[in-house]
Amino acid sequence: MNKIHEECGVFGVYAKEKTSVASTAYYGLFALQHRGQESCGIVVNDKGVFTYHKDGGLVNDVFTPAVMEHLGEGNMAVGHVRYGTTGGGGRINAQPIVVNHVKGAMALAHNGNLVNSFELRRELELEGSIFHTTSDTEVISYIITKERLKAPSIEEAVNQAMYRIKGAYSLVVMSATKMIAARDPHGFHPLCYGVTKEGTYVIASETCALDAVSAAFVRDVEPGEIVVFDGDEIRTISDHMGEAEKHLCIFEHIYFSRPDSRIDGVSVHRARVTAGACLAMEHPVQADVVIGVPDSGIDAAIGYARQSGIPYGMGFIKNKYIGRTFIAPGQKAREDKVKIKLNVISETIRGKRVVMVDDSIVRGTTSARIVKLLREAGAKEVHVRSSAPPFLFPCYYGTDVDSQENLIAVNHTMDEIRDIIGADSIGYLNLDHLGMLMGTPKGCGYCAACFDGNYPTEVPTETCKNRFEGKLSERSNNHEKSK
């Protein structure tokens, strides 16, 4: 674990007529690939007939021409990319989940994590429910289905289900005839929709996926909102809006999302440039060049450079052919692995005092290796700056900051971290400035629990957490894990 991982990206297509919705979903998921590289899936709905494919691997590898042909055309589609923290296998928990129930079929794609899934699951099991997977998403499927038995419509079932499920969820739900987008009342994770020139509606975790399919951004789905696409109509169910304050995960802006996305009205790129500028004000240093660690340290490095007046430089080349990584027999150390992905442009570094900006520091090992590379390339000084504050607390809302023991900042002082990393100085973004990234006052509108421990919801007790760990494991067909 050298990077914190997001668990998911969701995508939905709602067309007026039968068309190549699978292709649209493919491009959308391809643009959301950074949100999850472990497995992916697309479900196509052709007048109530659901055809789907899910597997471990990258969008590019899983959706071969033969698979795309199998998926065929339809008027709706739901897609998902996933990085799974629970369980080992790629395929078993791959989404979207497709279920059959008494009133028809439903497909569900989910980004986030429930905080009461253990309780809900136990309750369901005591009623005789069986679970095929270990994911929250199956729990949500059950809750919606149970509500559907009593509710007059699928959207009302989703609405009722939202009274029972707690935590973080951005959902796309597809029934035989409707498409529904729903976001939890805190709005932990992003969700938006757009429309193409042909009038096809597209729901996505991030706006970059709208761009990828040439759809114009319409608006973000609001925290607590349910948006129903039904015939020619787009309706909102607002029962859960305002139930809670908004708590968008601040790490979406710092690292998870793509710089070309706008989330809840804020450009991710600008948020990062702002973070870099804040860093320059908080932790100034005399230096000759500012470099960013690719890919997500680049934006903040530009911000640092602009604010400080120190020239921005290209410090690294990242090998762009990294795919399914192969661990060759003779590979000695993990240091080699960093070198294979990242090489220093010594021209930029030699004899210089370097400010190296990265998006965050998790365990510190990767930072240490990069600092070492810079010194070997002739850097006179290396000043490390992190555009995220120190990670100190576990996250329960859909990212994998789940154990404190791997977090360098939990057990070490700043001086110790600096020494472990081998830097001449170190500086983290100040917690108090996080609001500036989103243009809000300190503590307003975002969740920074992993940094400050202020959880906007109740959190699960520790005992529940690992109940299903390792209990199930299905073999993916993509034998080598994708990176």
Binding residues for [4Fe-4S] cluster: 249, 395, 447, 450
Binding residue positions for Mg(2+): 296, 358-359
A 10 A CB-CB count for 420 gives 18
Among 4, 8, 59, 429, the residue binding a second copy under the rule CB under 8 A is 59
- Cβ 322 to a second copy, closest distance in Å? 8
The backbone torsions φ and ψ at residue 315, rounded to the nearest 5 degrees and listed phi first, read -95, -25
Residue range at the interface with a second copy (CB under 8 A); choices 141-149, 223-231, 429-437, 448-456:
141-149
Q: Which tokens is 266 given?
A: 């804020």
User: Would you say 31 or 354 has its CB closer to a second copy?
Assistant: 31
331 is an interface residue for a second copy by CB under 8 A: yes
- Cβ 449 to a second copy, closest distance in Å? 27
Q: Which tokens is 449 given?
A: 């629990």
Residue 59 CA to residue 51 CA, distance in Å, equals 17
- Cβ 328 to a second copy, closest distance in Å? 4
131 is an interface residue for a second copy by CB under 8 A: yes
- Hey, which residues between 289 and 318 contact a second copy (CB under 8 A)? 295, 298-299, 302, 306, 311-314, 316-317
User: Would you say 100 or 238 has its CB closer to a second copy?
Assistant: 100
- Cβ 194 to a second copy, closest distance in Å? 14
- Cβ 170 to a second copy, closest distance in Å? 21
Q: Which residue has the tokens 């959308």?
A: 28
**Reduced to 3 states, what is the DSSP secondary structure of residue 394?**
coil
52 is an interface residue for a second copy by CB under 8 A: yes
Q: Which tokens is 7 given?
A: 């668990």
Q: Which of 416, 442, 28 is nearest to 206 (CA)?
A: 28
Among 343, 406, 425, 440, the residue binding a second copy under the rule CB under 8 A is 343
- Cβ 245 to a second copy, closest distance in Å? 26
Q: Which residue has the tokens 């080699």?
A: 336
- Cβ 457 to a second copy, closest distance in Å? 25
Question: Site size for a second copy, by CB under 8 A?
Answer: 109
Residue 404 CA to residue 411 CA, distance in Å, equals 9
26 is an interface residue for a second copy by CB under 8 A: yes
479 is an interface residue for a second copy by CB under 8 A: yes
- For residue 237, CA distances in Å to 223, 224, 229 come to 11, 9, 11
Residue 25 CA to residue 212 CA, distance in Å, equals 10
Q: Which tokens is 88 given?
A: 């080992």
Is the N-terminal amide bond of 96 cis, ω within 30° of 0?
A: yes
152 is an interface residue for a second copy by CB under 8 A: no
Q: Which tokens is 117 given?
A: 């899934």
User: Would you say 235 or 350 has its CB closer to a second copy?
Assistant: 350
Among 3, 16, 442, 475, the residue binding a second copy under the rule CB under 8 A is 475
Residue range at the interface with a second copy (CB under 8 A); choices 121-129, 228-236, 248-256, 403-411:
121-129
63 is an interface residue for a second copy by CB under 8 A: yes
Q: Which tokens is 173 given?
A: 């739900």
User: Would you say 297 or 460 has its CB closer to a second copy?
Assistant: 297
Residue 131 CA to residue 129 CA, distance in Å, equals 7
Residue 79 CA to residue 368 CA, distance in Å, equals 38
Site string for a second copy, 88-107 (x = CB under 8 A): ---------xxxxxx--x--
151 is an interface residue for a second copy by CB under 8 A: no
340 is an interface residue for a second copy by CB under 8 A: yes
Q: Which tokens is 404 given?
A: 């404190």
Residue 314 CA to residue 297 CA, distance in Å, equals 11
125 is an interface residue for a second copy by CB under 8 A: yes
Among 119, 239, 260, 452, the residue binding a second copy under the rule CB under 8 A is 260
436 is an interface residue for a second copy by CB under 8 A: no
Is the N-terminal amide bond of 295 cis, ω within 30° of 0?
A: yes
- Hey, which residues between 164 and 223 contact a second copy (CB under 8 A)? 208, 211-212, 214
Among 95, 141, 159, 387, the residue binding a second copy under the rule CB under 8 A is 141
Residue 316 CA to residue 226 CA, distance in Å, equals 44
- For residue 218, CA distances in Å to 17, 192, 221, 234 come to 20, 8, 10, 12
Q: Which amino acid is at 465?
A: K
140 is an interface residue for a second copy by CB under 8 A: no
Among 3, 17, 49, 403, the residue binding a second copy under the rule CB under 8 A is 49
C-beta separation of 429 from 361 below 8 A: no
Active-site annotation holds for 8: yes
- For residue 192, CA distances in Å to 205, 225, 226 come to 6, 11, 11
- Hey, which residues between 351 and 390 contact a second copy (CB under 8 A)? none
User: Would you say 184 or 299 has its CB closer to a second copy?
Assistant: 299
Which residue of the set 8, 192, 208, 278 is catalytic? Answer: 8
The backbone torsions φ and ψ at residue 180, rounded to the nearest 5 degrees and listed phi first, read -130, 130
466 is an interface residue for a second copy by CB under 8 A: no
- Cβ 255 to a second copy, closest distance in Å? 14
- Annotate 148-169 with b (16+ C-beta within 10 A) or e (fewer): beebeebbbbbbbbbebbbbbb
Binding residue positions: 249, 296, 358-359, 395, 447, 450
Residues with catalytic function: 8
